[in-house]
Amino acid sequence: MDVEGIYLASASPRRAALLDQIGVEYQVIAAEIGEDPLAGEAVEATVVRLASEKAECVARQTRAAPRPVLAADTLVVLAGEVMGKPRDEAAALAMLGKLSGQTHQVLTGVALAWAGTLKTRLNVSEVRFRSTTVQERQAYCLTGEPMGKAGAYAVQGMGAVFIERIAGSYSGVMGLPLKQTAELLSATGQPAWLGAR
């Protein structure tokens, strides 16, 4: 059953921009769920579970006008430590200090709920930060960009000046891996990008 357009269960402007990039039509309906990990839960399981819960939440809200619901969740992990969104500037500075000169993982779970089914994908990328100075980290925090970002940086923004290399998916580090997203959308009959129409 083909339906034109999807619901994006995220208020993230970065995820919206990525869907715009490949020409997917969508309507934003942010999902309100708790984002705490479960006791003993692996990070890989956490991002997939949270993405799934977001997709299912919006699918329930939109039963009267059903469309495929796409959701995602991203976590940054350094040496086993999960770095969420910084609660304040001090937390952002601490995260950026830990990332300096180190390689960390960015995990993004993607979920698509449609017609009573739920399909998921996981993307894992590695990001290497160059060594940064205290002054650089402070100046970056003053821009406000680190707030609301997992790991306290934006790969598509000014935070890019700290990145030496990425192994994996650039869009996945941004918060929505487009290869996996296209796979999920194609399974619903949705055009996954402009060339697929």
Q: Is residue 64 part of a domain?
A: yes
Residue 184 has pLDDT above 90, yes or no: yes
In this prediction, residue 33 carries a pLDDT of: 86
Q: Mean pLDDT, to the nearest integer, of 113-121?
A: 96
Lowest mean pLDDT among 28-32, 51-55, 110-114, 121-125: 28-32
In this prediction, residue 83 carries a pLDDT of: 92
What are residue 91's phi and psi, to 5 degrees?
-65, -40
Number of domains in the chain: 1
Q: Is residue 125 part of a domain?
A: yes
Q: Is residue 176 part of a domain?
A: yes
In this prediction, residue 1 carries a pLDDT of: 38
At residue 147, what is the residue type? M
Residue 189, CB half-sphere, CA atoms under 13 Å: how many? Answer: 8
pLDDT band at 3 (very low <50, low <70, confident <90, very high): low
Q: Is residue 13 part of a domain?
A: yes
CATH number, residue 117: 3.90.950.10
In which domain, by residue range, is 57 found?
A: 6-196
In this prediction, residue 108 carries a pLDDT of: 97
pTM value is 0.91
Q: Is residue 59 part of a domain?
A: yes
- Residue in this structure with the two tokens 């709920």, named with its chain if needed: 113
Q: Which residues contact 187 (CB under 8 A, 6 or more apart)?
A: 112, 119
Is residue 36 part of the annotated active site? The answer reads no
pLDDT band at 194 (very low <50, low <70, confident <90, very high): low
Q: Is residue 1 part of a domain?
A: no
Q: Mean pLDDT, to the nearest integer, of 89-112?
A: 98
Q: Is residue 21 part of a domain?
A: yes
Q: Is residue 137 part of a domain?
A: yes
Q: Which residues contact 183 (CB under 8 A, 6 or more apart)?
A: 121, 192
The catalytically annotated residue of 2, 20, 36, 73 is 73
pLDDT band at 93 (very low <50, low <70, confident <90, very high): very high
